[in-house]
């Protein structure tokens, strides 16, 4: 008898972000990785999610597996790689909470476990009943993980599920960044909901206007272009609009975009996709997602900073 799947599957990297201050003093190490962040954010909000990815047989890998278990994120799709270690990313932070990439714990970006998600080890039954598959683009840089992403997309299409792409452009993950554009554009043809930052939109599509992006690609059911504190412009269900950013005291911007995706999908799972056919409802969904993102920036850590539903509701109530 097959196990019913969870409403959302997040496939891709789970890793450790090690934060360093500008004077090169190590401050702390925290769990991260965009698809893992989304899965954890969904679980905290009360929407069941499954994570598919790979970690090393090391202390970080054990800690990340335990974290998924503690947050009740499904981990039947979590693989352990016998030789490749869990990825550790070095991040520099400044006084404003902004961060910048400072390297990996090993010189070759393809030498980590998340670059080797083995397609044949993914159980297709995980996708039964799944409504949304969340993917980024970093896994496209590695042939084995890329094969797993494309297979997962195929499984979703077979059962009329929706693919959600958060572009998350990070050239340092690619041995040859020039390959990225073509691979991302090929993947985009299978996507229903596209979320990207304004700089990513300019890089990939040469426009930051979600209406123009949707007009170029009519198969897209939704486009959300985020611009940090400037808010989010969107095109959803035929309606376009803008949700201004929330004014909060920023501690750490890591994972804000992933929190946005979690908030967006949490609302879609609660209300159903048909809610996007109403202009007010579409606006409220984006506003909720923006609130989840804003609250996440007020605390350290992409996952540790994610809010509960009660915190989001209170935050929005006070800002009516």
pLDDT digits (tens, 9 = 90+) for 132-163: 999 999 999 999 999 999 999 999 999 999 99
How is 151-171 classified by DSSP, letter by letter? Answer: HHHHHHHHTT-EEEEE----G
pLDDT in tens, 239-271: 999 999 999 999 888 899 999 999 999 999 999
pTM: 0.96
Closest CA to 169 of 226, 218, 106, 243: 226
- Note whether 138 and 173 are within 8 A (CB): yes
pLDDT-derived band at 91 (thresholds 50, 70, 90) equals confident
Which of 92-101, 111-120, 129-138, 290-299 is least confident?
A: 92-101
pLDDT in tens, 303-314: 999 999 999 999
Beta carbons within 10 angstroms of residue 58's beta carbon: 16
Strands 15-21 and 88-93: parallel
* Mean pLDDT computed over 165-169: 96
- Note whether 170 and 101 are within 8 A (CB): yes
| Joined tokens for residue 299 | 């605390």
Give the mean pLDDT of the chain: 94
* Mean pLDDT computed over 181-203: 97
- Sorted by where each starts, the structural domains of the chain and their CATH numbers stand as 11-318 (3.40.1190.20)
The rounded distance, in Å, linking the Cα atoms of 131 and 10 is 11
* Mean pLDDT computed over 101-106: 90
pLDDT-derived band at 1 (thresholds 50, 70, 90) equals very low
* Mean pLDDT computed over 234-240: 96
């Amino acid at each position: 008898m097959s196990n019913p799947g969870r409403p959302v599957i997040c496939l891709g990297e789970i890793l450790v972000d090690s934060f360093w201050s500008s004077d090169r003093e190590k401050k702390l190490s925290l769990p991260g990785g965009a698809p893992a962040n989304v899965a954890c954010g969904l679980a905290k909000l009360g929407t069941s999610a499954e994570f598919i990815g790979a970690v090393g047989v090391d202390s970080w890998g054990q800690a990340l597996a335990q974290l998924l278990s503690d947050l009740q994120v499904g981990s039947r799709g979590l693989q352990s790689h016998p030789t490749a270690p869990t990825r550790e990313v070095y991040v520099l932070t400044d006084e404003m909470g902004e961060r910048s990439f400072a390297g990996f714990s090993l010189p070759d970006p393809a030498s980590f476990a998340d670059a080797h998600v083995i397609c044949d080890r993914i159980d297709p039954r995980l996708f039964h009943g799944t409504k949304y598959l969340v993917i980024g683009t970093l896994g496209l840089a590695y042939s084995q993980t890329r094969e797993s992403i494309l297979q997962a997309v195929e499984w979703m299409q077979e059962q009329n599920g929706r693919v959600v792409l958060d572009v998350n452009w990070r050239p340092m993950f690619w041995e040859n960044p020039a390959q990225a554009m073509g691979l991302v554009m090929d993947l985009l043809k299978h996507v229903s909901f596209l979320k990207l930052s304004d700089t990513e939109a300019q890089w990939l599509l040469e426009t930051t206007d979600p209406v123009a992006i949707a007009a170029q690609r009519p198969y897209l059911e939704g486009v959300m272009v985020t611009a940090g504190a400037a808010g989010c412009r969107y095109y959803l269900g035929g309606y376009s609009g803008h949700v201004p950013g929330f004014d909060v005291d920023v501690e750490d911007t890591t994972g804000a975009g992933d929190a946005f995706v979690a908030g967006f999908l949490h609302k879609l799972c609660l209300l159903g996709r048909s809610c996007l056919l109403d202009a007010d409802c579409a606006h409220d969904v984006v506003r909720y997602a923006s609130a989840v993102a804003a609250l996440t920036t007020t605390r350290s850590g992409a996952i540790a900073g994610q809010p509960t539903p009660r915190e989001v509701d209170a935050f929005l109530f006070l800002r009516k």
